[in-house]
Amino acid sequence: MASKFSGIFWTWVHSSTGPKTTHFWAPVCNWFFPIQALYDWNRDPAKISKEMQCVLVCYSSLFMRWALRISPQSYILFCMHLFNATLQGRLLIRRLMWESSQQKAIEDKPTN
């Protein structure tokens, strides 16, 4: 009779790149970046850090290319960085539009 802990799933669980190792969790935790950007979909633009968003967009853009240049190519990593670059870029654009509207409000303010 086959053991309860045999089969493809349990073989994977106990493997050297399975969920008991850092090899598995390190790429998984990379996905927290786009998940955080989704959670902050409606974040107040005054509380968005422009510099950090710029850096995250550049970081993900470069790693998109890196994921396709490494051997073996990692399409999952490519997708993750594509989502991250798009979502963090959206937060950056929100911040820039808010700054622009603030600037316009100051310029339009009637001077007595």
Partner 1 sequence: MFGIVPKLQQYVCAWNFWPAFMKKFIMSEKGPFTIFFWTPLAKWGISIANIGDMRKPVEQVNTLQQCVIAWTGLLFTRWCFIITPRVYSLVICNFCMAQTGLYQLYRKHQQGKLFTR
Q: Binder to partner 1 among 11, 15, 49, 100 (CB under 8 A)?
A: 49
Show the site string, 76-105: x = touches partner 1 by CB under 8 A, - = not.
------------------------------
Q: Which residues contact 75 (CB under 8 A, 6 or more apart)?
A: 67
Closest CA relative to residue 53, chosen from 23, 24, 84, 79: 84
Determine, following the binding rule CB under 8 A, whether residue 66 of this chain makes contact with partner 1.
Answer: yes
User: Which region among 2-10, 16-24, 72-80, 104-112 touches partner 1 (by CB under 8 A)?
Assistant: 16-24
Angle of CA points 19, 21, 27, to nearest 5°: 75
Distance CA 91, CA 112 (A): 36
DSSP state of 112: -
**Residues in Cβ contact with 34 at an 8 Å cutoff, skipping those fewer than 6 apart:** 80, 83, 84, 87, 88
Task: Single out the residue of 25, 76, 86, 100 in contact with partner 1 (rule: CB under 8 A).
Answer: 25
Closer to partner 1 by Cβ: residue 51 or 107: 51
Residues of this chain that interact with partner 1 (CB under 8 A) are: 21-23, 25-26, 29-30, 32-33, 36, 39-40, 43-44, 46-49, 51-52, 54-56, 58-59, 62-63, 65-66, 69
